[in-house]
Structure 1
Amino acid sequence: MGEDIAFDQDTTNDVDAEEATIGRTVRTQPADPDIRGLHQRHKDGDLVLQPEFQRKYVWDATKASRLVESVLLDVPIPVIYLAEEDNGTDYVIDGQQRLTALFSFIDGRHPDGTVFSLRNMEVFTELQGLTYANLPSEYQHKLKRYPLRTVTILRDSDPDVKYRIFERLNTGSVPLNDMELRNCVYRGPYMDLLRQLAADDVFRRILGLSGSVKRMKDVELVLRFASFHHATYLRYDQPMKRFFNADMARYRNITDHDAQQLRTTFHRASLAVQTVFGTNAFRRYHAGHDKNPAGQWEPRWFNASLFDVQMGVLAEHDLNQVTRAADRIREAVVDLMVNNSRFIDAITMGSSDRTRVRDRFDIMRRTVDEVLADHPSQPRCFTRALKQELYDADPTCRICQQHIAILDDAAIDHIEQYWRGGQTIPTNARLTHRYCNATRPRRD
């Protein structure tokens, strides 16, 4: 079945209203080919019934037989929608089950290999149990010459409008999600590359994946990274869905040079995130409160907004530099999630809003830049190694005198405050809860 990747609801839902597509065009071509012609095109490879994005064939023998009977009765069959690819091939985007049933009957076997003989006929009961080869010739001719209305979305249609059309035709029992729809609209070298990057060992290890992933959620994460990498967050404009679609359209036939550059950057970002955050990558840290000062990492949900900034910002820096400062970067980012209300809002509320996107990137970039620029002889932040040493010696908060449950919930406080000239040295350090440290009174 595949593994799932669970995200905060707000960070994956694009709540912006759909904008009108005035000025954008979609070109379509209606036609009425007969079943014989469509069947031959399918055999020649010019009509693809089950592209990668389509669901598997699910009709049973009775339902397929009833469709054949409807054709023999001249009952109108719903329109078949096709999409023209750059190479001239047409993909079925609506009508796959119907065409598969009709072609299977002509070929004599269901897709699972069993013989296709007519079942449970209601009008043509005399045809019960017959295969196509056994049908009287007049019925064979009628079936093959029956016209089906098709509408083909031509290759030069606006990709964004094409995507919207696919959305509206997406009415199956399990509708395709946004990334599955993109896989339908934007097939090509770029989609192949995104799939390859989603299989990166380091990236999968960060997400805790061991098997296949349901519904291309891992591929959509890679697209998130690539979209902000290519356009930068400064050129982001909502809705986020359209921002991602624009990246897919622009790089659909990505060059080898651009592909290699993205591959290198994505792998470097994954290594940096793994080094800094480990198994807590892309997860929120929840601060304690006055009744319970103990904080904790989010145990279930990934946060897509944190994914954007952790991957995007760390990708901008030299991996060796990030590795040397990994503990201090981690401490600074956890502090953002606990004490910076603007950052907290930017990763939790209306996170696809343009202002929120810029806020979280700006704050994250500034934070990481400050850590990396901090002079090693007199840093502002204590090392994680010192925190581990103090925690191992006595995991008690020096402010509330309660036990500190996990190391990440601990903060090292300057006894003589830094802004008053206190040094970042072991003798000027005390272990506290993050919450207690953030809410303690500041002496003048």
Structure 2
Amino acid sequence: MNDKLTEATDEIQFEAGEEVEESLEGEFLQSERTIRTNSADPEIESLHGKWKRGRLVLQPFFQRQYVWDSAKASRLIESALLCVPLPIIYLAEELDNTESVIDGQQRLTSFFSFIDGNFPNGQPFRLSRMKVFPELNKKKYSDLSDELQDKIRYYQIRTVTIRRDSDPDLKFEIFERLNTGAMPLNEMELRNCVYRGSYIKLLKELAEDEVFTELVGIKKPDKRMKDIELVLRFSAFYHSTYLKYQSPMKRFFNQDMEKYKNINEHDATALRDAFKNSVQIIKSLFDKSAFKRFRLGTQNNPNGLWEAQQFNTSIYDVLMGVFYDKDKNQVYAALDAIREGLINLMTTNQDFIDAITLGTSEVGQVRKRFDLTRMLVDSILLNYHQQPRCFSLQLKQELYETDPTCQICGQKIQNIDDAAIDHIHQYWQGGQTIPENARLTHRYCNMARSRNN
């Protein structure tokens, strides 16, 4: 899959092509459990006051962050000014007598943000794209007349509260059934509500790891929890290994969430250590090019390049899954050879290329890409102390800075990662891996030469 990371928005945007999000299969089984509710029509001012006092929880751990834009929030305010009835707000009464918002978080947050003057991200809330009251555009709540302020403060909205003497799991079933709005929850957001417990909290903690966020290119938590889903991808393969993977991917992740939803401290520590080991090694290998694919040049244009704005979850899976149990000192000693080998794998091995681009959630493709990556890395770590076959990155940099011309096609090499150091006297013919036997070429030209030979 090719997954687009937009650094400016701090949001991971998965492109179509790989089965990251699959449709939910079926519904919760019917049950005869009891649900008891209270209905009311409180004013916005009353709900705002309860929230200020901590009695109303807008964002319980299973809820997503605020995602409405200014225009959508402004339309809500305009509806209140017009006294248009709004959909029901669903609440759940907790054991400590607080109330959690099950459905309606975006609406209530919009009302409260307007009254307080700022959105949750700190940006001023000024009305925009008002159709019936265009004269109110660019105005804040404090700019409105007392009459209009009162219309908002005293606007009544219907609430249905699930009492705490109801079955405790029912609010999550209701949460799923209410997931039909204009911006329905994605699969990770649903997991966040269904598989509540210590595991989801651990996944959120790991998603905030400084090295991880740097590698995936975000500065803040993703609004749609896609960063947390990436951590879950690693965790599921860590717990089950790729050899026990069964498609579809969604079910594989859900089963992992169910099994470890109340993860114990011992298992949590082991997972945390494995995750950090992987991201630290991968940062040393690829830094900001991590989890991206390097594309080989062609006969018409021999210059290869990194897919700068493309995030490939298949590459993410294998890199995270291969390095979590590796000794960092051994990897660092063979860092140049491993980096070169991995770039070569994604540019010249057609089986691997197919496994990261075609039918990527199929069992055979998952095992193929993991097997090829693990065999490559293990082979390098096993043999790195012998006569090296790969030239060092330092030598490549020296040759590139001296003359970046490809010694085969005669064209300039545009990117050092597209440069390959070729043995003048071939390695398999006894040629040594020494500077005197090295020449700089395009990866494509070197590969084409090898095929011709």
Identify the TM-score tier after normalising by the shorter chain.
Answer: 0.7 to 0.9
Pick from 237, 247, 253: which aligns with 2:246?
A: 237
Q: For residue 292 of structure 1, what is the amino acid of its counterpart?
A: N
Is 1:284–1:297's contact at 8 Å kept on the other side of the alignment? yes
1:404 to 1:30, Cα distance in 2 relative to 1, 3 A: same
Is 2:296–2:303's contact at 8 Å kept on the other side of the alignment? yes
The residue number in structure 2 matching 1:60 is: 77
In the alignment, structure 1 segments of 5+ residues that lack a partner are 71-76, 105-109, 121-127, 133-142
Instruction: State percent identity of aligned pairs.
Output: 47
1:317 to 1:20, Cα distance in 2 relative to 1, 3 A: same
The residue number in structure 1 matching 2:372 is: 363
Provide Cα deviations, 1:154-193, integer angstroms capped at 9, x if missing partner: 4468x9xx67x74552233333332222222233322222
User: How much does 1:18 deviate?
Assistant: 5.3
Q: For residue 298 of structure 2, what is the amino acid of its counterpart?
A: H
The residue number in structure 2 matching 1:331 is: 340
The reply to whether residue 281 of structure 1 matches residue 290 of structure 2 is yes
The residue number in structure 1 matching 2:130 is: none
1:421 to 1:249, Cα distance in 2 relative to 1, 3 A: same
Q: For residue 35 of structure 1, what is the amino acid of its counterpart?
A: A
Pick from 15, 19, 22: which aligns with 1:9?
A: 15
Pick from 167, 187, 200: which aligns with 2:196?
A: 187
Alignment TM-score, normalising by the size of structure 2 = 0.74
Pick from 297, 306, 312: which aligns with 1:297?
A: 306
The residue number in structure 2 matching 1:410 is: 419
Aligned equivalents of 2:340, 2:152: Cα separation in 1: 73
User: How much does 1:373 deviate?
Assistant: 1.3
Greater alpha carbon shift after TM alignment, 385-394 vs 251-260: 385-394
Is 1:179–1:217's contact at 8 Å kept on the other side of the alignment? yes
Is 1:15–1:352's contact at 8 Å kept on the other side of the alignment? no
The residue number in structure 2 matching 1:139 is: none
SS of the aligned residue for 1:313 comes to helix
SS of the aligned residue for 1:405 comes to coil
Aligned equivalents of 2:395, 2:373: Cα separation in 1: 24
SS of the aligned residue for 2:38 comes to coil
1:428 to 1:197, Cα distance in 2 relative to 1, 3 A: same
Aligned equivalents of 1:426, 1:331: Cα separation in 2: 17
| Larger gyration radius, structure 1 or structure 2 | 1
User: How much does 1:297 deviate?
Assistant: 0.7
The reply to whether residue 382 of structure 1 matches residue 391 of structure 2 is yes
User: How much does 1:149 deviate?
Assistant: 9.0
Is 1:409–1:434's contact at 8 Å kept on the other side of the alignment? yes
Aligned equivalents of 1:170, 1:275: Cα separation in 2: 41
1:365 to 1:85, Cα distance in 2 relative to 1, 3 A: farther
Pick from 238, 248, 267: which aligns with 1:258?
A: 267
The residue number in structure 1 matching 2:208 is: 199
Pick from 344, 349, 356: which aligns with 1:340?
A: 349
The residue number in structure 2 matching 1:35 is: 40
Q: Pairwise CA RMSD of aligned residues?
A: 4.3
SS of the aligned residue for 1:411 comes to strand
Aligned equivalents of 1:318, 1:410: Cα separation in 2: 28
The reply to whether residue 246 of structure 1 matches residue 263 of structure 2 is no
User: How much does 1:402 deviate?
Assistant: 1.1
The residue number in structure 2 matching 1:391 is: 400
Alignment TM-score, normalising by the size of structure 1 = 0.75
Provide Cα deviations, 1:331-359, integer angstroms capped at 9, x if missing partner: 01100111011111211222222222111
1:231 to 1:98, Cα distance in 2 relative to 1, 3 A: same
Aligned equivalents of 1:226, 1:87: Cα separation in 2: 33
The residue number in structure 1 matching 2:137 is: none
1:31 to 1:154, Cα distance in 2 relative to 1, 3 A: closer
1:268 to 1:49, Cα distance in 2 relative to 1, 3 A: closer
The residue number in structure 2 matching 1:312 is: 321
1:156 to 1:25, Cα distance in 2 relative to 1, 3 A: farther
Is 2:208–2:221's contact at 8 Å kept on the other side of the alignment? no
Is 1:396–1:431's contact at 8 Å kept on the other side of the alignment? yes
1:95 to 1:271, Cα distance in 2 relative to 1, 3 A: closer
Is 1:411–1:437's contact at 8 Å kept on the other side of the alignment? yes
Is 2:12–2:222's contact at 8 Å kept on the other side of the alignment? no
Is 1:30–1:149's contact at 8 Å kept on the other side of the alignment? no
In the alignment, structure 2 segments of 5+ residues that lack a partner are 1-6, 118-140
User: How much does 1:412 deviate?
Assistant: 1.5
User: How much does 1:210 deviate?
Assistant: 3.5
